[in-house]
Structure 1
């Protein structure tokens, strides 16, 4: 709290501000400070309000030891000065007797006699105040359930009584009744009782999140797995990182453990790590720790006890170590409660949860399905897990292993990766002894080989600077080893990597293919040559110039090294062709097409003469790409069909998936999604035989997602996108992975899978490199923006608004991208308007307008301003009319600017939309004549619908005009003429559905 309130008005304002904060230490500390401030004023009522706020902060901040102390002060004030308590404050006081009962049950140090004495105090106070006793019996039942004895009788005494004004809310009482039936072993009845809460018809501060956490396992036991999945996603979001709902989090951890989602469980455990140290309620701690132990026990039983786990602060934990610590603490807590209660209820309940077997073998909970192997430390898991075939290709004997790695690498065989990985591990060992074998060569050559392989992997991940440096270092070691040919190849790779870095820098990160990869990335938008055809492109395009220079240097390098082996010479020719292929891909200039073909012809002739299959295939792939980049897609398909025939008969087999992937992209460019899907699916099937990164399985999944989207199968596309992204993550291409996941999140939101979208983005935003700020801030902002929109779609307006406000503040500093700030600020303004905070909405809208002046976003900003006007008029009526009109004035100015700029909207014109909104705003404010004039203007701008139009907007405008004229201006005759004419026109054009609302209004007018 910056400064203490100086008077009661400032105190009440500070209390209101604190009430908007989330529960936690900040809110609690501020509440404590406000009580101190209130004590300085001679105003008992102000102190009562401050104490009520403090008790609420303690209660929902999981500090049950302090809540009864604050309530005791309130009770003393009530006894001493009852007149201070008006009806509302008196109601709050007696309501919170239940809070104290709940707090005392959570503390094992409070003796059972103390609990019973408090119940007696509550009953006496209620009877003296002539209040119904149903709330007292509710507390008596909850104590019996806590003790594990006498619950049936206590339940009947409570449940059979009529509710009073002080009874718990409907949602909480529904939960207690359902829990009783659950305790009795009747899952079906419990779920039936719970349905109003689970369906969202009844809710409160803790509901439905509390009920959902308890209902998950009964839903599984009764076969409702889809419902359980849906509620897990929504329910977990309602309790995550909330110390007062740690028991609920524990039940979600348990649910993950019992559905084959142990990896997600560990992720959620990490997200809620604060609960190990910040939950001050022993009972809540017990519930959380038991749920965590169920998860940790399951992970350890699956053989992953050495995985890292998030636990108590101050040390690093493995699953096994944390499980032992959690078990010790939870056993102690259960024993303390049972000792206090004189029963074994808590130990018995704990044992029942820990002994429960998995209920479902595998239940895909989120779009980001991961196994425990995926969360192992990166250093302990190779980038590509070897298949049995790959494992067989890794010899045990060191000389044989080195020779095998080089031979496979020369062939471009994917199994070379496993050999190099094994060698890297052996060479790094302190006791490594290099074999004294002329066939193997000196250690310096092997170190050069390993550096070259590492450089190639860096290039595959677009880490071009690292790739260039590693290739140069490898070249120097090859020189030391007397391997001039290998040194030349390494230097050529470095040249290409440097050029690719220049291209990436010049095109904002849109890098081309890797050093030994065909330039096959661009197959769309190739129907016509570039407008640069016939010009000296290199003189104006730094990207083309960089690749031209790299090619020239490679040619010189080639000429300076005449004693290359056939394999080395083929690789140099391939690099030369790749450089020119990338130049064509960058420029799309006819001037650059012929040199590529000439280099490809040299490579193909040489590789064919020396029977180097991998380079023959590479040359033909490059030729295919060149046809595509030149705009001749049919020729590219013909070329690739011949290549596929060759690969099927002569190999190499591992080129088939990549080639089918390229053919699929060509078919997409030719708008044949069905053929593309067939090629890509076959490529994916064949890719399963090889390491995922060797055949680019991630890209196959991504391209297949595009194909099936064109075929109208978005759910299938979503699965392929998420698999593509997870493969990219495993391969270390994290930026690409986050971009793909961002697309998947947006698609899931478009499909209405709101909770899936939020869960996916929560998982990504919790990734260590994202949390540490190591990922591009604009990419992270896009993830957060999609999440904020999903929260809004999921009707979590408070959370969505908070995220939008934060994003608007951050994007205000994006001097290089004011357009994005304009859109974010505009959306923020709308959400603030939905919350009724129109002063803040006006400020956000002004920010959007200022940014729009630098980077126009006509339609987006106009839509937002019109929506703000509607919201303010709808919520405030005549009082908000002037401010609403101000928003419309801004929208009118934008419409004028758009017209001057000849901007074309996606739907109706901005002028038409503005006229319609003027009508709605005026109608909400009771200015009906003005509304009718505006609506008639909108209808004139829209014009009559025709048979092909979407007539919905026109019909709605007629309906609103008819309602204003007939109902509010009480002129039914002209309104009916308007409506009947519109109905006849819509019916004649076949728009019968649009006419229904007009017919209903006309019938109402005639009846009245």
Structure 2
């Protein structure tokens, strides 16, 4: 069945051909090409058939279908023999070029006899000689056959490499790769890398390069000690070949690289991303290379003891690493044997064995910002619970374990987490038998303990509704167990959690918290609820007699926490004193009963209260006193969080060096305890901020990604993705484009993201950053496709039209860069409509001006009317901004608009209008001052005016006068850097006078 309406004439056919050629290689493009051949056969003219057959052969070649490519070429060759006049110079060139494609396709099919391969090369040589063409391409194919078979390669190489290139020779990049591979096969890594350098440096490229060369160069780079460059080329090269059936062999080499550098977890991630290659690669030779790379990875994972891990493999069943490795080994061994049987050598079996026998080249190489081990990807594990601290082990005996958990919980000791986690597993088992021990108490008491601990962990993940429900359930069980003190504490914790439930979830049927897009309570409403919660806690406290000292201290701490939350919500000075009063009650009581943890908490409450109230000196004094006390009296596990508070205060006081030292100490101390219990995630995040202020950007990235990964392990997935989003944006800002893309690719492949379980706006932000990174990495096609998709999705964000305005505006610019000005204008109109609902003055003005510039630059005078219409829209946006009192963060919208009028008219050849616009821009800017940061903008405006006046309007004298005056002015003000381009233009004008 046709995939689209069929062309009715040759014009429509050629238009359909052009549209198909813009599609990526794959089944859609191939099927459409097949349909277009069928259409072309109905026309009486041979030329449409020739053109559609050429498109079909290209689709087969780059869609990894080598069996079909020679058949199509045979039809083309017959047409050429019968009607040579149909083939103009370009078509004739394409025909003779594709003899090489057929040779490549036949080599990739083990069922084709070696004699037939040689017969085809003879046909190629005869045809070239008859057409008067040079034989360099023939000898190139003869060498590639020799290298494939593994015999007489030295002679074949010399016959090829020693000849002069012709127009039909492979491109420079491809030939460089073949020469480098010859040296690589000979064991000369250094010589191979020297040969590859023009391709690795980006000076030579083509359809398959540099992705092909990059994949081959990875291991030689490692062997010669260039691991950093290998890392960079892995990131860039993998992106160029992933999911592409025609580059499955390259993907296999990237998997092998991961396996040999301690990045097995990343290798499994990339394997999952390329699962389509198991079923979509129709080239046996490419299959062999791909499967061997897969086997190298799976073999390494199995050797490391993780054979039970899930692995993405052939469709139709679920695979473990061990199971998939056995399947892959069998298929690859068979392919190698078939090729060797056809060739009469053992070359392919030997090459496979060499790859499989390689030992790892590095223990570890940090390939991406998100470095994970095989332990991190172990499946079916619930949220990882931190282990006990090094100082204590979890008891094996059940009664001892229960008593240890309660004692640790009473002290606030981090080991409580590991004890509760172990007990949760034991109690959930079908054969669990509760100890008959009065010291342990009944099973209902233990179930209450576990529920209360689960509630505390839910609240730490901001799942407040779940936490409140669990605390209430625990309180009821504590009542049944005859533990009124614990029941009162559970109810008090539930009150605090209830007050923190976002408004959007308060009445929800399941009480679950919302994502970032959820509506939060207003400060007044939340403060009212916290006030009521505090009052209820005070009442519960008074109505619960017989509280043990640690229980009463906990109740006082919860009362203080409710008021501290209220202060944090409102920031009101009238809420400061009540917090300090409750903190004082807690401190006095805890000191009387020597409760070190509660004494520390009281100090911490006071320090944070002073900080929120704006009394930073007192906050610092309180934090310093607490640190001193903790170092002397403990508890030691409070030190990391206190260092975190001290470091944040130092950041507020603009002392990043001191903050860095303090936070680093906190992180060092945190290593002695479970990360979740001592706030290690927050320490990493704060240390990242300190690093940013100190210009230590790489270190900041490491701390951001570490914080995000800790959040993932603890189940705080939304927080983790937000932090990773910040890391991706930072890496993009730093120009680490490939790092940014690799990180975001990894995140977007996460199961909950792929399944649509993560907040859609957060996912959109990740995709938007990735699209911008693709644009920065000059992958305009992929960036445009992503922006178009995001613009379509964001059009439905009725609650956030401003974001849609920005996305649509950026989409318009990318479409214009691709020359699609009609679609660009449609996107710009969408942006303007959304802007009318929620203004984005600067972003929209910038985009409209850029659209106008691109249209004038690419279309010249023909594009001037549309470009001026866009500038008129930008002018209306500037007028709206002025009326709204909006001040641009960057350039003034009015001066930028006048300057763009100058550029647009200059591109279109309207030089008088261009000069007038630039004069207006200069008048709006005014002459710069000594401390003026507009000097660069002013100098550029003068330079362009000088170009228009002196070169295009051929009035060098006034242009020189303008330039000399500007140079004199800027020099006198000390803006010497800005004079260089002006002086260069002035010298050129003097030469032309």
TM over 0.5: yes
Q: Does 2:456 match 1:452?
A: no
- SS of structure 1 residue aligned to 2:578: helix
Given the alignment of the two structures, is residue 226 of structure 1 paired with residue 228 of structure 2, yes or no? yes
Q: Decide which of 569, 572, 575 is 1:589's aligned counterpart.
A: 572
**Structure 1: distance between partners of 2:48 and 2:592:** 95
What is the CA distance between 1:84 and its match in structure 2?
A: 2.2
| 1:523 corresponds to | none
1:545 to 520, 528, 537: 528
Q: Distance in 2 between matches of 1:380 and 1:969?
A: 73
In structure 1, the residue corresponding to 2:804 is in which secondary structure? helix
Corresponding residue number in structure 1 for 2:631: 648
Are residue 759 (structure 1) and residue 742 (structure 2) matched? Answer: yes
Report the Cα offset of residue 554 of structure 1: 2.0
Taking a change above 3 Å as real, the CA distance of residues 867 and 927 of structure 1, as seen in their structure-2 partners, is same
Paired residue for 1:77? 79
Mapped contact 2:388–2:674 kept (Cα < 8 A): yes
Residue number among 970, 973, 980 corresponding to 1:986 in the alignment: 970
Comparing 930-939 with 610-619, greater Cα deviation is found at 610-619
Equivalent residue for 1:517?
A: none
In the alignment, which residue of structure 1 is the partner of 2:409?
Answer: 409
The whole-number CA distance in structure 2 between the counterparts of 1:103 and 1:318 is: 33
- Structure 1 residues 922-961: aligned runs within 5 Å: 922-950=905-933, 951-961=935-945
Is the contact between residue 830 and residue 867 of structure 1 (CA under 8 Å) also seen in structure 2?
yes
**1:882 deviation in Å?**
0.7
Q: 1: distance between equivalents of 2:559 and 2:212?
A: 64
DSSP 3-state at the match of 2:381:
helix
Q: How many residues align?
A: 978
Query: In 1, Cα distance between the equivalents of 2:505 and 2:845?
Result: 35
| Cα deviation digits, residues 870-927 of structure 1 (max 9, x gap) | 1111111111111111111111111111111111112331111111111111111111
User: Alpha-carbon deviation of 1:641?
Assistant: 1.4
How far has the Cα of 1:2 moved from its partner?
A: 3.0
Shift of 1:5: 1.9
1:68 equivalent among 59, 70, 76: 70
Gaps of 5+ in 1: 514-537
Matched residue, 1:472: 472
Secondary structure at the aligned position of 1:450 is classed as: helix
* Aligned mates of 2:398, 2:522 — CA distance in 1: 52
> C-alpha displacement at 1:380, in angstroms?
7.1
Q: Is the 8 A contact 2:475 2:486 kept in 1?
A: yes
Name the residue aligned to 2:550. Answer: 567
1:360-399 map, 5 Å: 360-379=362-381, 382-386=384-388, 388-390=390-392, 392=393, 394-399=394-399
Structure 1 equivalent of residue 352 of structure 2:
350
Cα deviation for residue 459 of structure 1 reads 0.9
**Deviation at 1:502?**
3.2
1:500 corresponds to which residue? 500
Q: Check conservation: 1:913, 1:938, Cα contact below 8 A.
A: yes
- Cα deviation 1:605-664 (Å, max 9, x = unaligned): 222222222122112211111111111111111111111111111111100000110111
Map 1:407-446 onto structure 2 (within 5 A).
407-446=407-446
Quickly say closer, same or farther: Cα 1:43–1:545, change in 2 above 3 A.
farther
Q: CA RMSD in A?
A: 1.7
Separation in 1, partners of 2:711, 2:565: 23
CA separation of 1:21 and 1:661: change in aligned 2, threshold 3 A: same
1:126 paired residue among 125, 128, 143: 128
Measured after TM superposition, the shift of residue 553 of structure 1 is: 2.3
Q: Which residue of 1 aligns with 2:692?
A: 709
CA deviation map 1:565-594 (0-9, x unaligned): 222222222112111111111111122222
- Could you list the per-position Cα deviations for residues 476-495 of structure 1 after superposition, in whole angstroms to 9, with x for gaps in the alignment? 22222122221221122122
Displacement over 4 Å in runs of 4+: 385-388, 503-506
1:778 is the counterpart of 2:761: yes
CA distance in 2, matches of 1:713, 1:331: 50
The alpha carbon displacement at 1:450 in A equals 1.1
Alpha-carbon contact 1:539-1:545 (below 8 Å) kept: no
- Structure 1 length as normaliser, TM-score? 0.95
Aligned partners of 1:328 and 1:380: how far apart in 2?
35
Do the aligned residues in 2 keep the contact of 1:728 with 1:737 (CA within 8 Å)? yes
Task: Kindly indicate whether residue 607 of structure 2 is the aligned counterpart of residue 624 of structure 1.
Answer: yes
Correspondent of 1:254 among 253, 256, 261? 256
Query: 8 Å contact 1:955–1:982 — kept in the other structure?
Result: yes
2:949 corresponds to which residue?
965
- TM-superposed deviation, 1:266: 1.1
Would you say the 8 A contact 1:551–1:579 is kept in 2?
A: yes
Question: Which residue in 2 is equivalent to 1:522?
Answer: none
Aligned with 1:276 (options 278, 282, 301): 278
CA distance, structure 1, for counterparts of residue 951 and residue 857 of structure 2: 18
Q: What is the CA–CA distance in structure 1 between the aligned matches of 2:428 and 2:81, rounded to whole Å?
A: 78
CA–CA distance in structure 2, aligned partners of residues 546 and 50 of structure 1:
72
Pair 1:1001 & 2:985 matched: yes
User: Cα offset for 1:387?
Assistant: 5.2
Aligned match for 1:890, one of 869, 873, 876:
873
Give CA-to-partner distance per residue, 1:296-327, whole Å, 9 cap, x none.
11111122222221111222222222212211
Partner residue of 1:187 out of 189, 208, 213: 189
Gaps of 5+ in 2: 514-520
1:503/1:546 contact within 8 Å kept: no
> Residues 420-464 of structure 1: CA distance to partner in whole angstroms, max 9, x if unpaired?
111112112222111111111111111111111111111111111
| Gap change, CA 1:378 and 1:577, over 3 Å in 2 | farther
Tell me, what secondary structure is at the counterpart of 2:678? coil
Aligned to 2:490: 490
8 Å contact kept, 1:932–1:965: yes
Judge conservation of contact 2:250–2:290 (CA < 8 Å) in 1.
yes
The SS at the match of 1:445 is helix
Q: Relative to 1, partners in 2 of residues 1:133 and 1:105: Cα closer, same or farther, differing over 3 Å?
A: same
The whole-number CA distance in structure 1 between the counterparts of 2:12 and 2:714 is: 57
Of residues 588, 596, 607, the one that matches 2:590 is: 607
TM superposition score normalised by structure 2: 0.96
Return the alpha-carbon distance in structure 2 between the equivalents of residues 846 and 656 of structure 1. 56
Q: Is the 8 A contact 1:232 1:252 kept in 2?
A: yes
